[in-house]
Amino acid sequence: MKIPFTKMHGAGNDFIVVDDRALTFPVAGKGFIARIAARRTGIGCDGIILLQPSDAADLKMRFINPDGNEVGMCGNGARCFARRAFDLGAAPEKMAIETGAGIVRAEVLGDQIRLTLTDPSDWRMGLDVGQEQPVDFVNTGVEHAVVRVDDLDGLDLPKLGSGIRHHELFAPAGTNANFVKVEADGTLSLRTYERGVEAETLACGTGATAAALVAARQGWVQLPVAVHCAGGYDLTIDSGDGGTTLSGGATTVFEGEVEYGDWI
């Protein structure tokens, strides 16, 4: 079976996007998923996104991490989902997307996609995880820990990020770990260690949202705020009566097809 796909990225967060409205993608094939997600021997991605039918919204998004495990939400992934759905003619400019975290809304605004997320929940501030700085926590569709630091470049991110990701306070599911610097101009710079990828990614939409919401709650910045991601792209986070929004680009890189099986 040949599976057509589109390689996309949102702020450097890259995905394999599959039009699965026929419900034929082998979601149980964790070995296959891991192989196509591998960067040196596969297509390479931070996650696999499936466009599927929905009874509750215009379309349903399923998001699968490179380890084959499914998670409820991905902010940059949902923006790429919206771009692809619109380009396919499968959804209008303003669309509702069913996710594992609930219904989110997206709007295509030229080369930008604005995503309205589910309400943040499970706020936990000032947690002690055995590091120098306290950790704040919020669920923005998936779990995120946020740590304020003064030096992003000097971080041992694999060690620090993994330590927070697996800390007992966040068991059993674990958490994503975000390290944020407040810049002099009132913007934020961010590095993220992502659960499921088990490494740093060039951007994380729900992580950028978590960092911005924590920073606003702590009084470090005011919304709307630009978040500078590790890959060199910016995301904009805002919050108002309509909910929390995440805005940024969503780019198609290339299209192809992969043969389902034990090798690629």
Domain boundaries, the chain: 2-118+249-259, 121-248
pLDDT at 262: 55
Q: Which residue type does 82 have? A: A
Tokens at residue 199, please?
Answer: 């490494």
- Shared fold status for 2-118+249-259 and 121-248: yes
The count of residues in the chain is 264
DSSP-derived 3-state class of residue 192? strand
Q: How far is CA 133 from the centre of its chain?
A: 24
Mean pLDDT across 151-178? 96
Which CATH fold would you assign to the domain 121-248? Diaminopimelate Epimerase; Chain A, domain 1 (3.10.310)
pLDDT at 177: 98
pLDDT at 132: 84
With a cut of 80, say whether residue 207 has pLDDT above it: yes
Active site residues: 74, 204
pLDDT band at residue 106 under the 50/70/90 scheme = very high
pLDDT band at residue 264 under the 50/70/90 scheme = very low
Q: How far is CA 186 from the centre of its chain?
A: 23
The domain covering 2-118+249-259 belongs, at the CATH homologous superfamily level, to Diaminopimelate Epimerase; Chain A, domain 1 (3.10.310.10)
With a cut of 90, say whether residue 203 has pLDDT above it: yes
Give tens-digit pLDDT for 68-104: 999 999 999 999 999 999 999 999 999 999 999 999 9
pLDDT at 146: 98
Mean pLDDT across 173-200? 97
Give tens-digit pLDDT for 2-33: 999 999 999 999 999 999 999 999 999 999 99
0.95 cut: is pTM over it?
Answer: no
DSSP-derived 3-state class of residue 49? strand
